[in-house]
Structure 1
Amino acid sequence: MSTSTMPSGRSVARVVDGMPAQDGAGVKLTRMIGQPKLDVIDPILMLDRIRSDDPKAYIAGFPPHPHRGFETVTYMVQGRMRHRDNHGGEGLIVDGGVQWMTAGRGIEHSEMPEQTDGLLFGFQLWLNLPADEKMREPWYADIPADRLAAVEPAPGVSVKLIAGTWGEAAGPAPERATRPFIADVTLEENAPVDLPLPDGHAGFVLPFSGTVALGPGESAEMVPEGRVAVVEEGEGSLRAVGGPDGARLLVVAAKPLKEPIAKYGPFVMTTREQLMQAVEDYRAGRF
């Protein structure tokens, strides 16, 4: 069965606005997930969107800082991001590339952004690790744009697949217990497609250009650029139809861990005691 004829069983649970924020050395961004209106979509801990044509808004970047207990996925729609960490990981992604970092038991890294053709535009996603993997060895990899799987599942629809599967295509991201599905989907005006979210996964759709109708039939909800549509958990795909000017979407889903979450700044563990240990270990230079 082709993707375009799969049953479309899911709907949008709610739509949420992002919140202006600053991070790193004063980098201005919009926090879409991990904010008062939308804290966590288990196992998705955070989503930041950065878009600016003003270097002063981001040029100081994200100087060395620690993480433990989760993963970061950085997707640069346009622009560059330079990574360096204390475990020997180093890389530069450019226009359409991805950085995947598993903090595991502890890592300290820096991320320095640069624009291309006058614009810096990208996303950073935080994905939780299961309790029994939080202290795994840190890991890092660049995934250049030309390694993303290109899919054309229906007329007027094109996909850049980062993680998970779409039909016979598979994204280049590493396999993880949360089985993430991450795709950049472009829809022409009125073009329909069924987003193949894995059964039982929790997730969201964020239009970053244009407007999209999400959900089955007459119950579809119009979601404009810059808002997060939280998808109800369940089975089946989610119908998406491009609006009057088409749409471009970040689509993310992952398997819920259903475990306690204890957060403190750059550390995400399962208990308060583990958080205190993370702070102590970092201060003692054990990362």
Structure 2
Amino acid sequence: ICGDFWGKTGPVDGIAAEPRYLDVSVPPGKRKTLKVEVERHAFAYVFAGSGDFRAASKPFGVLTEKEVNGEEIHVRETTGNRSLVLFDSGDEITVQAGDEGVRFLLVSGKPIKEPVAWYGPIVMNTQAELQQAVSELQNGTFIRSQ
């Protein structure tokens, strides 16, 4: 979709963070490992089926057990439809597909190392820019016609 992978380049380019959007399908019961450069941040958005990402660079939010008040509770073994998995740093991501297979977007990019200020759906770099955008939104001048 975006970026380069296995010698192929997607239609979107020229973006500073060099994003890579991959549409990944893994058949039922199969395992797939994808390389992700260490300097990139990555996440997967599952939109069909389910899969086990636990072995993949210690993903956040896909715990199999968690201790709460001294009691072990079952959280989730697999990540299903409409789930987001954030990955820690590493050089590869592995997924084991569930009984119906899994399809997900694997998104990665280089950190832009810029400040972030946000309020609701508005994201800017500074509080001043954010206040200006909110003011424009309230005044009806946020979106300008060309």
**TM-score, length of structure 1 as denominator length:** 0.38
The residue type paired with residue 205 of structure 1 is A
Paired position in structure 1 for 2:104: 249
Aligned residues: 124
* C-alpha contact 1:166 1:196 (8 A) present in aligned 2: no
- Structure 1 unaligned regions, length at least 5: 1-161
Q: Deviations over 1:18-69 (max 9, x none)?
A: xxxxxxxxxxxxxxxxxxxxxxxxxxxxxxxxxxxxxxxxxxxxxxxxxxxx
What is the Cα deviation at residue 182 of structure 1? Answer: 0.9
* C-alpha contact 2:3 2:13 (8 A) present in aligned 1: no
Distance 1:274 1:211, change over 3 A: same
Paired position in structure 1 for 2:50: 211
Tell me, in whole angstroms, the C-alpha distance in 1 between the residues paired with 2:35 and 2:10: 13
* C-alpha contact 2:50 2:100 (8 A) present in aligned 1: yes
What is the Cα deviation at residue 203 of structure 1? Answer: 2.2
Q: Deviations over 1:118-144 (max 9, x none)?
A: xxxxxxxxxxxxxxxxxxxxxxxxxxx
What is the Cα deviation at residue 251 of structure 1? Answer: 1.4
Tell me, in whole angstroms, the C-alpha distance in 1 between the residues paired with 2:8 and 2:135: 44
Q: Which runs of 4+ in 1 moved over 6 A?
A: none
Which has a greater percent of strand? 1
Paired position in structure 1 for 2:85: 229
Paired position in structure 2 for 1:145: none
Tell me, in whole angstroms, the C-alpha distance in 1 between the residues paired with 2:30 and 2:14: 31
Distance 1:285 1:229, change over 3 A: closer
Aligned-residue Cα RMSD (Å) equals 2.6
* C-alpha contact 1:206 1:251 (8 A) present in aligned 2: yes
* C-alpha contact 1:181 1:197 (8 A) present in aligned 2: no
Tell me, in whole angstroms, the C-alpha distance in 1 between the residues paired with 2:87 and 2:19: 15
1:1-287 to structure 2, matched below 5 A, reads 162-216=1-55, 222-232=78-88, 234-281=89-136, 283=139, 285=141, 287=144
- Structure 2 unaligned regions, length at least 5: 60-76
**TM-score, length of structure 2 as denominator length:** 0.70
